[in-house]
Amino acid sequence: MRRVRILPSTTRRAVKIACSSMSFLPAPFRKATGHQSLAYLCLCGEYPSDIRIKEYKLKKKKGFMVEVTRKARAPVEFNYRLGAFGFLSSDEVARNGVANAGILDQQLALHWIQQYVHLFSQGGDSRRVTIFGESAGAGSVMLQDIAYGGTLGSTLFRNSITSSPYLAFQYGYKDWQPSQSYYALAGAAGCDVKDGYLHNGSKPIFQCLQEVDSKTLMSAAANVSQSGTWGTWAFLPVTDGHLIQERPSQALAEGRVNGVNHLAGHNALEGASWVQPNSIETIDDLVSYLKKIFPNFNNNDIAKILLYYPSTNASTDFNAPLWSTEGSYGPTTINQSIAATGQQQRAIAIYGETTFICPSYWLAEAYSNNKHGGQGWKYQFSIPNAYHGADGAGYVRWPYTGGYYSPDFIIAFMRMLGAFIVNDDPSVSSLVDNGINTQNATFNPVSDWPPYSIYDPIMMDFNTTCPQLVTIGGLPYCSGGGQLNAFRLEDAYTWEGGRGQRCDFWRMMGEKVPE
């Protein structure tokens, strides 16, 4: 793989660093007192190209992130390597190169921000950096939260925000699974993997990969990932024993975190996009699916999953009515949603909780009364359809005309994010919570949003009334006038039939998942 020289920069505009495909962007909402900065991670391309750190030119941009960022004073974006370029791993990779190259790219960029953010045209305070990610970006934020065993303190950032933190199966750097992906990449790229090391004068696999052009490597990596089980990926972060010293479930349980405060969120129906539609009809289909995605689980472990996600053994009725659950009463997400019912929904709930939802619980808990004097907060985004990524429309549209969600919701949602960045607390006024356009400033209890703790696991549920559903791209969305904010504070542990207990189960199984 090509080595790229680091270019130090004294300019206020940009510096090229390496080779990548995700980005960070900064942002609060109310007037800041310390020129805060926020780094936002979002997947922005299918293949890696280069890593850039740059200052945003706000006057030429549109959208929430910029509107909020105007008060951050120093908006920053950077990219990092993805796929095999960022997360190829095996014993040979570790001996000749480095595992978790993509996470190291992020570290480099965060160090760069600390060194140069004060030079940006609007100024920036390196002591007030917040990092914010969604999906795989949130997973990266989580790994920065636990980087180097949580010994960095607030040297790189003060606060962090995770929206649907993606915790893929995090194996050890030389475990069988990442090693098989390494060999599969080599074979797909044309390297000799059949005859053994140096057999008949063959080159070492790592040397062969270094000599393959990047276009061939990108194509080979895509083919390897696409050949796997639906909803899984071939090249992922690993536990390397240095940068990432433990599995997240373990590190977060021990409170080994960087930074001071954390805001963790997830969507109500995270798993629906990751389980092949209409693919799980019977209990046998479900068991077969679970054995594929949890290869380290034995039959007893599979039985435990079914115990924690109870249902009848009836087959899925793919024509059954679909609707969203209330969360605090009635049917639960284990068996019912706007996407599916029965065994299909059971699989959706299992995948969504172990991969996205439980990591957000663990993050909020890890920052509760932490060693740095900070706190954690927790929320769920529930506006239908509440699929993975659906919350993005809540902070990327400006002005708010013709969007999925009401202006009152979007304003409240983005001000909540801004309040956390600026004030270290996501609480906003009752007027904002009730809906600015309602002109109702009557006290709303959610305006005093308490931190999350293991003793009082309070979560904000972000929802609205939904006068009508419209179908866009085959998915239902709330739309039209008359939507009113319907925010409420709920017990996250008992939510959806005892989700907290299920997350405790996944943490207990963390070594086997592994996560």
Q: Which of 31, 36, 40 is nearest to 161 (CA)?
A: 40
Residue 190 CA, distance from chain mean position:
34
What 3-state class would DSSP assign to 130? strand
Q: Crossing angle of helices 495-508/358-366, nearest 10°?
A: 80
Tokens 């915790």 sit on residue: 167
Q: Note the pTM of the prediction, 2 decimals.
A: 0.88
Q: What is the pLDDT of residues 355-368, one digit of tens each?
A: 999 999 999 999 99
**The pLDDT value given to residue 13:** 28
Give which of 131, 104, 103, 129 is closest to 115, Cα–Cα: 129
Cβ atoms of residues 379 and 296 within 8 Å: no
In this structure, is the dihedral angle defined by the CA atoms of residues 187, 192, 198 and 203, taken in order, positive or negative?
negative
b/e per residue, 372-381, with b = 16+ CB within 10 A?
eebbbbbbbb
CA dist list (Å): 255 to 130, 283, 364, 368: 19, 38, 10, 9
pLDDT at 478: 84
pLDDT, one tens digit per residue, over 97-133 is 999 999 999 999 999 999 988 887 667 788 999 999 8
Nearest to 181 by CA among 211, 226, 212: 226
Cβ atoms 158, 130 nearer than 8 A: yes
Strand 52-55 and strand 14-16: pairing?
Answer: antiparallel
Nearest alpha carbon to residue 315 among 337, 339, 335, 290:
335
Higher pLDDT among residues 47 and 443, named by residue: 443
Token duo for residue 45: 């391309």
Distance of CA 242 to the CA centre of its chain: 22
Q: Please give the average per-residue pLDDT across 337-357, as a whole number.
A: 97
**Residues 246-272, mean pLDDT to the nearest whole number:** 98
Q: Give the DSSP letter string of 189-219.
A: TT---SS-TTGGGPPPHHHHHHHS-HHHHHH
Tokens of 330: 């009635």
Per the structure block, which two tokens stand in for 350? 């299992």
Task: Quickly tell me which residue has 């040397």 as its tokens.
Answer: 207
Name every residue whose Cβ is closer than 8 Å to that of residue 350 and which is 6 or more positions away in sequence.
Answer: 271, 290, 305, 309
56 has pLDDT over 50? no
The mean of the pLDDT values for the chain is 85
Q: What is the dihedral of CA 245, 246, 248, 251, to 10 degrees?
A: -100
Residue 374's pLDDT band (boundaries 50, 70, 90)?
very high
Local confidence band at 255 (pLDDT 50, 70, 90 cut-offs):
very high
pLDDT above 80: residue 195: no
Quote the distance between the C-alpha of residue 229 and its chain's center: 20
Among 176, 220, 345, smallest CA distance to 274 is for 345
The token pair at 453 is 């703790």
Confidence of residue 61 (pLDDT cuts 50, 70, 90): very low
> In the numeric block, which tokens belong to residue 394?
């809540």
Q: In the chain, what is the greatest distance between 2 CA atoms, to the nearest angstrom?
A: 81
Asked if residue 154 lies in contact with residue 260, where contact means CB atoms within 8 angstroms, the answer is yes
79: Cα within 13 Å, side-chain hemisphere: 22
Q: Is 161 helix (H, G, I), strand (E, B) or coil?
A: strand
- Res 72: pLDDT: 55
CA 328 to chain centre: 25
Taking only Cα atoms into account, the Rg of the chain, rounded to an integer number of angstroms, comes to: 23
Where are the domains positioned within the chain? 176-226, 271-356+498-508
* Angle CA 346–350–353, to nearest 5: 135
pLDDT value of position 28: 30
Residue with tokens 């954390």: 262
What gap in Å lies between CA 103 and CA 317, rounded to an integer?
43
β-pairing verdict for 261-267 and 159-163: parallel
pLDDT digits (tens, 9 = 90+) for 433-459: 999 999 999 999 999 999 999 999 999
